[in-house]
Amino acid sequence: MGRGPQQSVPVFCVGRRLLRPLQREDALLHVIAPAILFTLLVSGGVGVALALPRAGRMPQVVGAATAGLAGGLLILAMTIRAGADAPNVYFYIFSAIALGAALRVITHDRPVYAALYFVLTVISTSGLFLILSAEFMAFAMIIVYAGAILITYLFVIMLATQAPEEEDVEVLADYDTTAREPIAATVAGFLLLAVMTVMMLHGTAGLQKPLPVEPNALLADMPRKVESSLRNHGMMDTGDQIAIDETTGKLMIDGVKGEIVIKMESGLTATLKRDEWPSDLRVKNVEGLGFDLLRNHPGTIEIAGVILLMAMLGAVVLSRKQVEMDEDAKAAQSRQLSERRLSDPGAAAIGRGPGGGE
Amino acid sequence: MNTLLLGSTLAQSGFPAPMSEITLAHYLVVSAIMFTLGLIGFLTRRNLIVMFLCTELMFQASGIALIAFSRFHLLYTGQTFVIFVLTVAAAEAAMALALVVLLFRRKESLDAEAWKDMQG
């Protein structure tokens, strides 16, 4: 009789742990009401499913408008709840452009335009990075993505597209104008989105705010920057030096306390407090990022280098390979050629290529 | 209203004041929506090039989430990881596009369905 309750306790605990996310609905309510969230997710899903290309049988604009409206209302509903905690107004501009362009990437039936809309997404994402005070990553994103990767994509699109015949209007390929399983894919995608948003909104509500850190703590590792900045602003004369702590042997730059001790030529020392520092004496985003990258993740950089090298080798090996055209494709091409010859014997007699005539 | 104070949270340097978790939730929702759009695009589009474009869209979304967390926790590691995401994206683009050109030369078509007879 004594064992009964003992056994039931762990079961009860497990049950309660499973139920706890459901009970903590206030966390979700804090950001957005669940009913609004799910309604908007469903209407957004319907919109995206309608906006996907279906050989012109559907009004894509209606779908895109529905999806855009749902996305906008979702962010708006969150903002109304957020009140004073709402993000910067630039956040709304950049995320609206980014998401709208992302929708166009997946719905546009011409690959070149999809690639160009992707550039727009990259640029507005960089705007979001700027708001999040990640200046280096914002510009790296534009340079690497918009400048390098997208140009490669555009080249491949140009290389791997059949040139349109001269006489007929440009016909879009069937595989560009018809989506594959649009409804099933949208349902799967928006189920994932629902799970992700609910988890994220629950999770962020319970996050501890971090302690405010002193970004200038890194100044102790940049004595030359400190020295040149002080010299440029006339706070150190030619004979002056930054004092060295005799017990530790380190330069006396304390970014956390905000003190720099200078040993003057006469032998006296002077302490510069933070409010006396020149305005450019602070750790910039690139400097902090560089310290984190090279000091905390040196092995990862090596691995990244190896990945890039392997990708380069792989690309070279793949593109050097001579490819025999597939039998079916060969047959299809010869059939196409003979059909053209039948329909226009004159052109065939002059030459095969469209520009082969005069 | 705080939203209308233009540039009030635009950083001048380093890390400014801590960000509230509700602001973080906004960025995470944008990131999740963009990831989902990329996923749906990858599943539905049949053009091989556009499919790989959609994977880049998903990389972008993960970048937004990483940098938003980096800003929230006032740590640089999130930004460092976006550099590695960028590396992987560049490597993936190079390999994938070489492969796409190879596949195109073989079938004279960019249709992913043209390769549905492959096993495995």
Lowest average pLDDT, out of A124-138, A167-181, B4-18, B96-110, goes to B4-18
pLDDT of residue A358: 36
Residue A223 belongs to a domain = yes
Give the mean pLDDT of A45-51.
90
Q: Does ipTM surpass 0.85 in this model? A: yes
Do A251 and A187 share a structural domain? no
Do A239 and A196 share a structural domain? no
A63-93 pLDDT per residue, tens: 888 899 999 898 888 888 877 778 888 999 9
Do A197 and A77 share a structural domain? yes
Kindly compute the dihedral angle of the four CA atoms of residues B47, B53, B58, B64, in this order, to the nearest 10 degrees: -160
Q: Are B44 and A122 a contacting pair at CB < 8 A?
A: no
Residue A237 belongs to a domain = yes
Do A194 and A220 share a structural domain? no
A171-219 pLDDT per residue, tens: 778 888 888 888 999 999 999 999 999 888 888 877 887 777 777 778 8
**How many structural domains is chain A composed of?**
2
Q: Which of residues 67-106 of B touch A (CB under 8 A)?
A: 67-68, 70-77, 79-80, 82-84, 86-95, 97-102, 104-106
Q: Are B111 and A174 a contacting pair at CB < 8 A?
A: yes
Do A136 and A255 share a structural domain? no
Of B9, B16, B43, nearest to A185 by CB-CB distance is B43
Do A144 and A22 share a structural domain? yes
Do A166 and A39 share a structural domain? yes
| Domains of chain B listed by start with CATH number | 20-110 (1.10.287.3510)
Single pTM value for the model: 0.81
Do A199 and A95 share a structural domain? yes
Residue A352 belongs to a domain = no
Residue A318 belongs to a domain = no
A244-264 pLDDT per residue, tens: 777 777 777 877 777 788 888
B40 neighbourhood in chain A, CB within 8 Å? 48, 52, 106, 185-186, 188-189
Question: What CATH code is carried by the domain that includes residue A92?
Answer: 1.20.120
Rounded Cα distance between A77 and A43, Å, is 15
Of the three residues A248, A276, A304, the one that is the final residue of a domain is A276
pLDDT of residue B5: 39
pLDDT of residue A203: 84
Single out the residue of B31, B43, B114, B45 nearest to residue B78, CA to CA. Answer: B31
Do A185 and A126 share a structural domain? yes
Of A106, A159, A283, nearest to B37 by CB-CB distance is A106
At A320, the pLDDT band (50, 70, 90 cuts) reads: confident
Of A148, A156, A310, nearest to B101 by CB-CB distance is A156
B8-65 pLDDT per residue, tens: 334 444 456 778 888 899 999 999 999 999 999 999 998 999 999 999 999 999 999 9
Do A233 and A192 share a structural domain? no
Q: Are A31 and B89 a contacting pair at CB < 8 A?
A: no
Mean pLDDT computed over every residue of chain A: 80
Q: Which of residues 38-57 of B touch A (CB under 8 A)?
A: 38-41, 43-47, 49-50, 52-54, 56-57
Owning domain of residue A227? 215-276
**DSSP strand pairing (A241-242 vs A253-254):** unpaired
Residue A266 belongs to a domain = yes
Count of all residues that appear for chain B in the document = 120
Of the three residues A225, A253, A276, the one that is the final residue of a domain is A276
Do A173 and A39 share a structural domain? yes
Do A243 and A113 share a structural domain? no
Other CB atoms within a 10 A radius of the CB of residue A249 amount to 7
